[in-house]
Structure 1
């Protein structure tokens, strides 16, 4: 499999460093998952979801998150799904065209 997507690995809002204090590189499906997670956080939808208590309006935010994720050209439309693990944590999965399924945890 050819590596097509590269990114610096971010954990706990900071770059991950190897033993030589160099940034760790993430590739392909991990890079796509990280991009999706950051897009959701940067859109403000994760914060909006934490603040929303109405079940109906929470599902509206879920729909907007799914539409955002499926607008990524690497994601197969109609494959994104959200599981609400807690009121402040979501697990999102989606299928990519080239690398199978990706899954990310989003904390509000």
Structure 2
């Protein structure tokens, strides 16, 4: 039995939760995303696995993956939301970089998820 060969995640096109539309535009988080994680732990795995791997290769691509996915999930973006999302995405990339360099992951005091 052949195991599926895992392709490296080098750009947003390689993420499991993105796709291209009929005009070849990248959809960062499709509405009613059938390929999206169906539960919390799968969502965490998407970020901890795919987005972390992308950040290790290209932090700017990871920043955009986080930024645009969050904006697309919300369905609307005013300047307030896009400014907030920008800072969250930047902080996430810094956190991913820190974890690659050995920093311990943050866990809220009452966190049940690892």
Judging by fraction of residues, say which structure has more strand: 1
Normalized per residue, the structure richer in helix is 2
TM-score by length of 1: 0.32
